[in-house]
């Protein structure tokens, strides 16, 4: 059985930040998926950005440079 | 979101069974009225969430601008492929695809017609119009 995929989740302040962040990551060549905030992280309605764990450091730098307000960073397995 | 079953209560979703068959119709690439960018995010969230929940609709039908979601470059393509693999039938309106000149760009599900779509909806126990 394949090991579970390892992801990093970036919580952002709004849907607009998520869309902007997604664009910045795409421009930087970092695969990213915009998803609802997992229930394990919050019971509130929200949107976040999911990248492969291996892209965590690079994605953090890209989002910071793009002035995306990140409210939290979490490592998860699928 | 409109549904035939108007009485809903907040409760443990795992304790309820969906009426069968359940059909979801999507007629836009944006969910709800108001900010379009927000609506697009909400629709992406909704479809991704369907891949994660144990309950699935039997069929998702795409109309009008909603058909863009089943075509090349759609931000929900991977989620729709997952839903298809999970047993959800993905149907798109052929007239709509032709109108937008997207028939050759379809990447998931089946191109359908108004007869099949109408039959599917009439036979459904629950139709959810997004």
Check A34 against B49: CB less than 8 A apart: no
What's the CA gap between A21 and B49, in Å, rounded? Answer: 20
On average, the pLDDT of chain B sits at: 89
Total count of domains within chain B:
1
Strands in chain B per DSSP E: 2-3, 22-26, 59-62, 89-93, 110-112, 126-129
Give me the percent of chain B exceeding a pLDDT of 70: 88
Sheet of A32-36, strand order: A32-36, A47-52, A6-12, A70-77
Q: What CATH number is associated with residue A13?
A: 3.30.70.260
Check A18 against B41: CB less than 8 A apart: yes
Check B37 against A19: CB less than 8 A apart: yes
Residue A1 lies in a domain: no
| Cβ–Cβ < 8 Å for B60, B129 | no
Q: What CATH number is associated with residue B60?
A: 3.40.1260.10
Identify the contact set of chain A against chain B, taking CB-CB distances under 8 A: 15-16, 18-19, 33-36, 47
The ipTM, to two decimals, is 0.78
pLDDT in tens, B84-115: 999 999 999 999 999 999 999 999 999 999 99
Measuring CA to CA, how many Å separate A14 from each of B6, B37, B59?
Answer: 30, 12, 31
Residue B6 lies in a domain: no
What's the CA gap between B16 and A78, in Å, rounded? Answer: 25
CB B106: neighbour CB atoms within 10 A?
19
Tell me the residue range of the domain where A25 lies: 6-77
- For B87, the token pair is 């047993």
The pLDDT score that the predictor gives to residue A39 is 87
pLDDT in tens, A8-61: 999 998 999 999 999 999 999 999 999 999 988 887 788 999 999 999 999 999
Mean pLDDT of B21-31: 96
Residue A19 lies in a domain: yes
In DSSP terms, A37 is beta-bridged to none
Residue B2 lies in a domain: no
In this prediction, residue B10 has a pLDDT band, given cuts at 50, 70 and 90, of very low
Is the pLDDT at B9 greater than 90, yes or no?
A: no
Residue B4 lies in a domain: no
Residue B40 lies in a domain: yes
Identify the contact set of chain B against chain A, taking CB-CB distances under 8 A: 37-38, 41-42, 44-45, 48-49, 75, 78
Which residues in chain A have Cβ-Cβ distances shorter than 8 Å to B49? 36
Total count of domains within chain A:
1
Mean pLDDT of A57-68: 96
């Amino acid at each position: 059985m394949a090991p579970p995929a390892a992801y990093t989740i970036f919580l952002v302040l709004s849907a607009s930040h998520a869309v902007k962040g997604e664009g910045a990551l795409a421009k930087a060549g970092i695969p990213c998926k915009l998803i609802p905030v997992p229930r394990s992280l919050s019971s509130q309605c929200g949107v976040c950005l999911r990248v492969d764990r291996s892209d965590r450091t690079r994605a953090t730098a890209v989002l910071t440079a793009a002035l995306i307000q990140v409210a939290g960073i979490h490592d998860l397995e699928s | 979101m409109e549904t035939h079953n108007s009485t809903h209560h907040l409760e443990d979703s795992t304790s309820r069974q969906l009426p069968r068959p359940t059909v979801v119709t999507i007629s836009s690439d944006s969910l709800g009225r108001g900010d379009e960018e927000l609506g697009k995010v909400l629709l992406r969230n909704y479809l991704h969430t369907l891949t994660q929940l144990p309950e699935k609709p039997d069929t998702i039908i795409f109309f009008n601008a909603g058909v863009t979601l089943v075509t090349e470059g759609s931000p929900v393509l991977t989620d729709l492929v997952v839903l298809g693999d999970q047993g959800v039938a993905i149907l798109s309106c052929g007239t709509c695809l032709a109108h937008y000149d997207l028939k050759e760009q379809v990447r998931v599900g089946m191109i359908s017609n108004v007869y099949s779509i109408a039959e599917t909806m009439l036979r459904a126990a629950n139709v959810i119009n997004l």
